[in-house]
Structure 1
């Protein structure tokens, strides 16, 4: 494990099961920052990953910030990541990308939440690129832009300021009316409010 602006702390280990919490070692995100997070889960390993707190993207004074995440899950491995929200403050411009490669027989379960603005704020700009592959085939491909010219369009936020998404790839969960089933084994559950409990995430674990 390598430490940079994020420090991985092992909170539990038993056999091939590992729990790690990511702790920021400095203020994030500031204008001009580029954070790169890479997680590789080897064959037969189960990794439970959590964040210690929400990430706040501050007013960059005209400078954007970038966050790049790369996930690799081997066959017979699983990565369960309960991510805390990314809060995009007024004046912040954030470009975020996620690329996950899940092998045949591997499993990825993750919660991703974004919130535009702190209390009383309108919120800044967020540009998200997501590519999740299963067995070398695209499972989730999404380009999401949340700025003043997009957030009020049909199918976007409207009056809401939060998008909370739980995604599972590599296993098809029990059928439900409020999920979107993927073409590959997997599904997406998305709401416009942050749950007080883990709900769907816990059910899919």
Structure 2
């Protein structure tokens, strides 16, 4: 694969995010339950920082994004994440990245990042990508077909997706404006919650027969 061009394109993408206003240190976890006694609490919204004099090059390094992810799954895609858990030096920096691999006709299904805008650059293959705006904006679909070298932005919190519409594998890299962007996959979250959401509630919400909802919950059961 022609990674020299890919790295140049990704560097430009990363710089765009790094110069943009980062959303961190907004919440970096899904929730934070208050405690009355500090001894019962834990540090959140980031990580403890080591003594700067003890920092080393390895704290700012990750190797492996040249390796393809395993796309042998139902959705035929794989995400390799590089955030603060992989590079401790990203703590407080408000940026992270991912590599996404797609087998032919594979897809990264509709999902959101609650804490980050995403900027994606396609390196190989052909993708159909898009996001849906909020109810306030009448849920408009913004979608494009991407070819190698094309870039697309998914605004923070918007439901978005990517689908490989080609007959060959596709590879993309994406920068995210958070050290821990989080991900909420819509189908998994709605139909695979534990404990399950009442099928009657989801049947009314999605205007489906309750037996269809039960079947979906069985498919997405964790």
Common topology (TM > 0.5) = no
Q: Quick check: which has more Rg, 1 or 2?
A: 2
Compute the TM-score of the two structures, normalised by the length of structure 2: 0.25
Q: Which has the higher strand share?
A: 1
TM-score, normalised by the number of residues in structure 1: 0.27
Which gives a bigger RCO, structure 1 or 2 (Cα 8 Å, sep 6+)?
Answer: 2
